Amino acid sequence: MNENTIEKMRTMKLYGMVRSFRTTLEGANTEQYTPDELIGMLVESEWDDRYNRKLDRSVQNAHFRYKASVEQISYTSDRHINKNQVLRLADCDFIAKKENVLITGSTGSGKSYIASALGHQACSLGYKVMYEHSTKIFARLKMGKADGSYLKELVKMEKQELLIIDDFGLQPLDAQSRTILMEIIEDRHGKRSTLFTSQVPVNKWNEVIGEQTIADAILDRIVHDAHRLELKGDSMRKKRINLAVEDEKKEN
């Protein structure tokens, strides 16, 4: 009878219930539960299973640069990171309010890690997130204009409640990239949140974008009321390498 029930659960794709019910049967713990407690436990297991599978899909579809979490962010004094600000951003209220986030700092300062951590947090709260490297996104969309997939790509990005554009400003934008950025931002302005990371200070972005009139229009939509994180200190990558070298010396 139990195997018949399990098979019906599996047919209905109630995989969380199947695992929980099997565990309960194998542990011979069914008598410890009242009927309503057993049903509650099975439903809770199914709920958790579906949530975890949905989260895994969201994280996989986002294509984050790092597997990161807010809890693992380093707040050492030399980085000058406002922990309270990061934790407020981790609530993802800025996404609900359709606000932007700008994270700047030198190479290796941890910008991409923090962006990935906030992205993972957004996924865990049920938001749709896409993570893009600036160079790759402009290259792909330029190709999209040639092969006819451009509008489809724009619509896909527009649907994301949080779009993360990493390493913005590595090189000045050409005319086509400026137009692409303007269209991305125009589609999202006041509707969705965008998070930028950049080695270039925000007050220099107009030089990166070029064409003053277009730059002003883009920056007015990006920077206005945006949350800013300015990272300082030495490269986190260099620190990790130095620590690894020191540990290796100690072992030898």
21-35, 151-165, 212-226: range with lowest mean pLDDT:
21-35
CB 170 within 8 A of CB 135: yes
Q: Is 34 helix (H, G, I), strand (E, B) or coil?
A: coil
**228, 197 in Cβ contact below 8 A?**
no
Picking from 75, 78, 97, 99, the residue whose alpha carbon sits closest to that of residue 86 is: 75
pLDDT reported for residue 245: 43
d(CA 112, CA 196): 9
- For the chain, domains (ranges, CATH) are 2-61 (no CATH), 70-238 (3.40.50.300)
Looking from the CA of 103 toward its CB, the CA atoms found within 13 Å total 28
Can you tell me whether residue 161 is helix, strand or coil?
Answer: coil
Q: Cα-flanking dihedrals φ and ψ of residue 160, to 5°? A: -75, 125
Distance of CA 105 to CAs 138, 216, 219, Å? 22, 22, 18
Specify the pLDDT at position 14: 87
What digits encode the pLDDT tens for the residues 175-199?
A: 999 999 999 999 999 999 999 999 9
Question: Is the pLDDT score of 238 beyond 70?
Answer: no
SS3 130: strand
- Global pTM? 0.78
Please state, in angstroms and rounded to a whole number, the distance separating the CA atoms of residues 197 and 236.
Answer: 16
Q: Strands across the sheet with 162-166, in order?
A: 129-133, 162-166, 193-198, 101-104, 227-230
Q: What is the pLDDT of residues 94-116, one digit of tens each?
A: 999 999 999 999 888 899 999 99
